[in-house]
Amino acid sequence: MDYFKQRRAYRQLKMTEIDVSNGQNNLYRELLDYANDESKLDVQFRMKNSALLSLTGLSEPGLKKARNSLVQHGLIKYIQGKKNVKPPEYQIINLYEKAKQATSYPTSKDTLKPKSISTGLEGVSQLVRQPGSQAVAHKELTNTDSNQTNKNKRPRSKASRTYAPTERPYQIAEHLYKRILEHQDLKKPNLQKWADEVRLAHERDGRDYDKLTKLVDWAQDNDFWQANILSAKKLREKYDILTGQANREYKQKELSQHNDISRDFGGSQKYRYEAKPEPIRTPQKGDEPF
């Protein structure tokens, strides 16, 4: 199965035939990307529910609902697994081959090319007699409408932006690539494209450059996410999920540290009659690093 043909067929299906929610779309994209990364686009594969919950941000009921919808839409096949024994089994259904078998649409050449009808008069110009005039041969008329000509012209593609190594988007993209290399081999990507994703995350999504840099380090220090955040595009897509987990982890560490200090000073005989330390402020909303 061709990954890019499958992506295009899926996009066309969403635009013309089916309605897909954000949760269903995230689940399908994660299954498709995993199958492609593991070279299992044409075969069945297993994937844990816990992994899909982390990657999609769905709840368990939401995951079940989204999965059932994908099956009903004919996008995936699903075989239920056994809890704590074997994960569920999935298979991606080939959409572009399925579309070919279902119907055959005329190509643009077929629709634009007029059908010719043989009359036996090909190559012969008819003479039309008009009163008081000479015989005039019919000539083929050509469309000289300048507006029509302009419509047929394709718009010029915009030139891609180039980033200098001193610009923040490029620096963050390069930093992400270097951190990934600490854990696994990765062919050097197009850092210009990665830098453009970082810029879009900043300008369109409102992400702070400093927080993006910190999030790169947090994700690459996390055992699960270091295997899944392998591009700037993925970093941008998973920003909300990553920051949510990072902030929860931060709060848990702060509360754990506060409880440990409280036990040290309040629970032992040594400090019973000595001056108690000032109470430590527990983490509040807005204290999160991201």
Asked if 54 and 175 sit in the same domain, the reply is no
pTM equals: 0.41
Q: What is the pLDDT of residue 282?
A: 54
CATH number of the domain that residue 86 is part of: 1.10.10.10
8 A C-beta contact, residue 182 and residue 198: no
Distances (CA, A) of 112 to 104, 153, 178: 17, 16, 52
Which parts of the chain register pLDDT below 50? 108-133, 135-146, 149, 155-157, 159, 265, 269-273, 275
Q: What is the pLDDT of residue 222?
A: 92
Residue 166: which domain range?
162-290
Residue 173 falls inside a structural domain? yes
Asked if 181 and 273 sit in the same domain, the reply is yes
Q: What is the pLDDT of residue 260?
A: 59
pLDDT tens, 174-185? 999 999 999 889
Q: What is the pLDDT of residue 119?
A: 47
Residue 236 falls inside a structural domain? yes
| Burial status of residue 127 (CB atoms within 10 A of its CB: 0-12, 13-18, 19 or more) | exposed
Asked if 188 and 281 sit in the same domain, the reply is yes
8 A C-beta contact, residue 54 and residue 224: yes
Residue 78 falls inside a structural domain? yes
Q: What is the pLDDT of residue 228?
A: 92
pLDDT tens, 97-114? 877 776 555 554 444 444
Residue 231 falls inside a structural domain? yes
Asked if 73 and 189 sit in the same domain, the reply is no
Q: What is the pLDDT of residue 139?
A: 45
Residue 123 falls inside a structural domain? no
Domain boundary among 52, 81, 102: 102
Residue 224 falls inside a structural domain? yes
User: 153 is written with which tokens?
Assistant: 């012209």
Q: What is the pLDDT of residue 285?
A: 56
Q: What is the pLDDT of residue 165?
A: 93
Question: Alpha-carbon torsion 62, 63, 66, 71, what sign?
Answer: negative
Residue 118 falls inside a structural domain? no
Q: What is the pLDDT of residue 123?
A: 45
Indicate the number of domains in the chain.
2
Cα separation, 41 vs 50, in Å, equals 21
